[in-house]
A and B are shown apart, each in its own frame.
Chain A
Amino acid sequence: METRKTIWIYRHSLPVRIGHWINAVALVILIMSGLQIFNAHPLLYWGNRSDGNEALLSIRPVRMENGEIKGITTVFGRSFDTTGILGYSDQTARAFPSWATIPGPRWLAMGRQWHLFFAWIFVLTGLMYLIYAMLSRHLTQDLVPKQWELRGLGQAIKDHFLLRHAEGGGASPYNVLQKLAYLSVLLVLGPLMLLTGLSMSPMIDAAFPWLLPPLGGRQGARTLHFIACFSFVGFIAIHVVQVLITGFFNNMRSMLTGWFASKGTRHEV
């Protein structure tokens, strides 16, 4: 006889849960205070100088001939009207709107204080998580995809787009796409964020002069920091949607208490 029974799986260990929530908060604050800092000079460049006519991106308020002010975003020389969100919002000339920045009003000094404080929290928590993941073998057992999983990557992507979510393969709670996503955040996006952030520090540049050239110079590093920021925004958006559609309460329970309810199939005589 075949019955479906709920199997309780202890899915997330305490260090993982604590690290997850600390960094969830820190990351949101870092993004929003980072946009506050960006607003102080809403242009991006490549290289070491910020010559205005060579900006890759600019978000600017522009007064039209009829006196109306519009927010104009220019990317690689192509301009878009982004009034209401970028460049001009709530009758204020500002790149990102007040609902997207910490603090809300224009306040660079405070934005920096929020940003640098939570940067420490984020980096130290990330580092402790990485060490824990290596020592507890969470990294090798749960996060690094197995050979057979990588062979099934095409099918996994197809299933994902059809919203057929696998609970995970073998002993790992994660499916292959989750593994690749988490690994690239942990080993690529996070370190890139840290390095591009640090390399904007003139003191760090003096201590480690080799750091800046491969990052495209001081302004290149600032641009990469911005791109990495929006990669994180994209990651968070997909992550939150996945959490919502694959059983919100079960997912939340497992990230809060550790326990995940699996509707596994059991064969009983």
Chain B
Amino acid sequence: MKSRYLARRQVLKSAAGVAGSLVLSGCDNLSRNDWFRNVLEHTEALTERVQRALTPRNALAKEYAESEISALFPSNGNSDPGTEEYAELAQQDFAKWRLVIGGLVLNPVELSLAALKEMPSRTQITRHDCVEGWSAIGKWTGVPLGDLMHQVQPMPAARYAVFYCADIDEQGVAYYESMGLEDLYHPQTILAYELNGKPLDVPHGAPIRLRFERQLGYKHAKYIMSIKLVDSLVGIGDGRGGYWEDQGYEWYAGI
């Protein structure tokens, strides 16, 4: 009697196991299926459309008090580009570094770090939400990107700004990010050169990093070398608008 009971339990257990692993491997197969991924990817456009409709264009991300600043602000992703060119720039406190803004603009410019620091700045204490789930609060000072845009004057055809960065991954793939035109002019979108009152250090993206408040951390590109205005993201990297986007993360990272 007991053995029969055990046998039945064994059968039920293995049946449940088989059913479970069928479902699970089904999910994993679906995760690699182009058609299914395409269906899932439609969510991003829907989410962006709805969130943009709900959010006033210039609605600000919450700004915190000095007392709420994180004691330790994590430096995720690359903490040093590690290339010779970058090491040389860093050694001279980025004196030879020039920010190149070009592409579909009327007045392309090349700006030194000193020139950027002479421009009107904005300081904001904001929360950085990483796609992994952690949050940190930091005080950022930098030049509003909108001011730079007024200077370079994007052409009507320009739809995105692409940020080219100094860091390269183990496979030699360069880090880059992109932003739609409307967010370039958001008051909190700044090219930050200071964190918590000190010049930005190498782990946090020296000499400048993007602050793209209202979107997740991977959009806040570090080690920016040049900005190019383009009409399409096709042909840049894998064409999805960023290093992490090319690996399956959403281009719209508002959630």
Is B one of A's binding partners? yes
Q: Which residues from chain A sit less than 8 Å from chain B, CB to CB?
A: 29, 32, 37-38, 40-41, 43, 48-51, 98-99, 102-105, 107-110, 112-114, 116-117, 120, 198, 200-209, 212, 218-219, 222
State the Cβ distance, A137 to closest chain B Cβ, in Å: 30
Contact between chains at A40 and B55 (CB < 8 Å):
no
B135 touches A103 (CB 8 A): no
Known contacts: A120-B46, A206-B59. The answer to whether A201 contacts B255 by CB under 8 A is yes
The interface bits of chain B over 221-255 (1 if a CB of A lies within 8 angstroms of the residue's CB, else 0) are 00000000000000000000000100111100011
B20 & A206 in contact (Cβ 8 Å cutoff)? no
Interface range on chain B (Cβ under 8 Å from partner)? 35 or more
A40 & B254 in contact (Cβ 8 Å cutoff): no
- Interfacial chain B residues near A51, Cβ < 8 Å: 70-72
Residues of B within 8 A of A (CB): 20-21, 24-25, 27-28, 31, 37, 39-44, 46-47, 51-52, 54-56, 59-62, 64, 68, 70-72, 127, 129-137, 213-216, 244, 247-250, 254-255
A51 to B215, CA, bound (A): 21
> In the complex, A88→B91 CA distance in Å?
42
Is B70's CB under 8 angstroms from A116's CB?
no
- Give chain A residues whose Cβ lies under 8 Å from the Cβ of B20: 99
Chain A min CB distance to B173 (Å): 16
Candidates B28, B41, B134, B216; contact of A41 at CB < 8 Å: B134
Given A105-B28, A202-B61, A218-B127, 9 extra CB contacts under 8 A: A41-B132, A51-B71, A110-B248, A116-B43, A116-B44, A201-B255, A202-B215, A204-B54, A207-B55
Which chain B residues border A107 with CB–CB below 8 Å? 31
- Cα–Cα distance between A239 and B62 once the two chains are bound (Å): 41
Q: Which 3 A-B pairs have the closest CB atoms?
A: A203-B254, A109-B248, A41-B133
Contact B43 A117 (CB under 8 A): yes
Known: A200-B255, A202-B213, A203-B255. A219 touches B24 (CB 8 A): no
Would B60 and A206 count as touching, CB distance under 8 A?
Answer: yes
A207, B255: Cα distance in complex, Å: 12
Contact of B59 with A207 in the complex, beta carbons under 8 Å: yes
